[in-house]
Amino acid sequence: MLEIYNSLSRRKQAFRAPDSGPVRMYVCGITVYDYIHLGHARMLIVFDLVARYLRSRGYQLTYVRNITDVDDKIIARANQNGEPVEALTQRFIDAMHEDEDALGIARPDLEPRATVHMPQILGMIGRLVENGSAYLAGNGDVYFRVRGFAAYGQLSGRTPDEMLSAPDAAADVDPGEEKEDPLDFALWKAVKPGEPSWDSPWGPGRPGWHIECSAMSTHCLGDSFDIHGGGQDLRFPHHENEIAQSESATGARFVDVWMHNGFVRVDEEKMSKSLGNFFTVRDLLQHYDAEVIRFFVLSSHYRSPLNYTDSSLEQARNGLQAYYLALQDIPAGGRLLEHWQERFRAAMDDDFNTAEAMAVLADLRHEINRARDGGPEPLADLGYTLRTLAEPLALLQRPAEDFLRGTGGGVGGLSDAEIAAQLAEREQARADRDWARADGIRDALASKGVILEDGAAGTSWRRT
RNA sequence: GGCUGGGUGGCAGAGUGGUUAUGCACCGGCCUGCAAAGCCGAGUACGUCGGUUCGAUUCCGGCCCCAGCCUCCA
């Protein structure tokens, strides 16, 4: 039985799929004004994992992940670049897709963009104004009346009064805002010079950040849906506000299960743009295979902080390499060994505990190596089982040679042909029992990142 | 100040009221011309002070420390 930790109830709960129709999942995606970094990648990988695992468990799933393509930062960046907003966002949407593809992240079923859902956004704001949940201020902004929503604070575990007692709470109201209450937040921002705008019943302007997700998620999935995900930092205020808006507009319970992934840290500090301590996916891919990055991300539980240090990806690479070494030359065919599946499933059913699940895969790998010397379970079955179980993790799906001989992201290394030539030369040296020369060639290759292994069936090689 | 979540062996990272997590690294042995990979084996843990218990890393309480949110942020 699958259990998922629900941020709303603050405990693990048995997952209940809808009585009919697919499981509906919405995840807050990327605000596109720059290249994605490892923190974004974690979110993308985690929910890709959730989607894949749900499907592997037999659920039908509709997975929606939005793209925020209008907001303060985007506008600021576009102005800074002297570039139209649409050009900027399209550029980084393309870049995001490239990075996703590289990381083996399957596209969600729907990828709605805020700027093409203005009718839905305006419709929801209209309903909120009509039923008194929101109001038009003198400055042309439309605000949501937080005090009018009794359940406000349920997700963040704070009452409105507690929020106001924060040290800097009074500073929440920016100059130019005309809120009835400091906690109120903008649904619609009146246009300012140099900003893109859309017509609305309240005058030209653009949507606030939170409303797009309420409008697009309910538009794509219905007033109520099953899972809503995003990074930990979105829990408040973004998701709290989504609940308030959506439920005030529809009168229905918005979301069943809220999932929040933990942060990536760098030397125990949050990785973020504002701290400047981030690594973009593109930079990392220059040095490491994408699967190594995925392996690293999945090595810890999705809710735990993931600490990135200099050796993190080295460790991950060595670890992943061992799996592919075990999978090398495994006979084709085979069938799924169910007792391994049970162990794996038990781990994954426990709130997607990939760390535990990967320990099962490590044991399985060990069993494969033992089976080569004749074990109780057939090699082909063990290999097939390992690959099959790793499917929802999107790991170990390539031919072993591809991974082991891949460029590893290294630039300027030896070509396959050059390596082959060196190997032939070394074979001759070995045949001549000229060990000094053979070892010299091996050392020279090693210094260029090529590892040789002499086996019964000849010498094999791989790149580090 | 309020609210979250944490403190596990050299590093990463699960888990459990009494029995080996797992991986990487390191050490010994086997294998190898020597290596590598693999196998076999060893070692190094559970922030701190109390409490409950026959027994706590695991439950309870205090304390210390860390990270995050309370403002844009995956």
Separation of A361 CA and B72 C1' (Å): 40
pLDDT in tens, A117-128: 999 999 999 999
Q: Which domain holds residue A319?
A: 287-406
Residue at A359 is within a domain? yes
Nucleotides of B under 7 A from a protein CB: 1-5, 11-15, 21-25, 32-40, 66-74
Q: Of A265, A300, A332, which marks where a domain is finished? A: A265
- Measured between its terminal Cα atoms, the distance across chain A in Å is 40
Residue at A138 is within a domain? yes
> Among all strands, which nt has the closest C1' to A322 (CA)?
B37
Separation of A347 CA and B16 C1' (Å): 15
Mean pLDDT computed over every residue of chain A: 92
Q: Looking at the 3D structure of chain A, how many domains does it have?
A: 3
pTM recorded for the entire structure: 0.95
Residue at A2 is within a domain? no
Does residue A105 share a domain with residue A123?
yes
What stretch of H or E contains A417? helix A416-431
d(CA A403, CA A387): 14
Does residue A157 share a domain with residue A297?
no
Separation of A372 CA and B25 C1' (Å): 26
Residue at A11 is within a domain? no
The predicted pLDDT at position A161 comes to 85
Residue at A54 is within a domain? yes
pLDDT in tens, A133-171: 999 999 999 999 999 999 999 998 888 888 887 766 544
Mean pLDDT of A3-14: 90
> Among all strands, which nt has the closest C1' to A274 (CA)?
B73
Residue at A92 is within a domain? yes
pLDDT in tens, A422-447: 999 999 999 999 999 999 999 999 98
Does residue A190 share a domain with residue A312?
no
Q: Of A265, A297, A327, which marks where a domain is finished? A: A265
ipTM score of the complex?
A: 0.94
CATH number at residue A248: 3.40.50.620
Does residue A292 share a domain with residue A217?
no
Separation of A326 CA and B40 C1' (Å): 18
Residue at A277 is within a domain? no
SS3 A193: coil
Does residue A421 share a domain with residue A401?
no
d(CA A316, CA A293): 8
Residue at A272 is within a domain? no
Could you tell me the two tokens for A172? 């929440």
Q: Which of A301, A376, A292 is nearest to A339 (CA)?
A: A376
**pLDDT at residue A361 tops 90:** yes
Does residue A256 share a domain with residue A209?
yes
Is-contact A293 A281, C-beta < 8 A?
yes
**Residue A111 — φ and ψ, nearest 5°?**
-135, 70
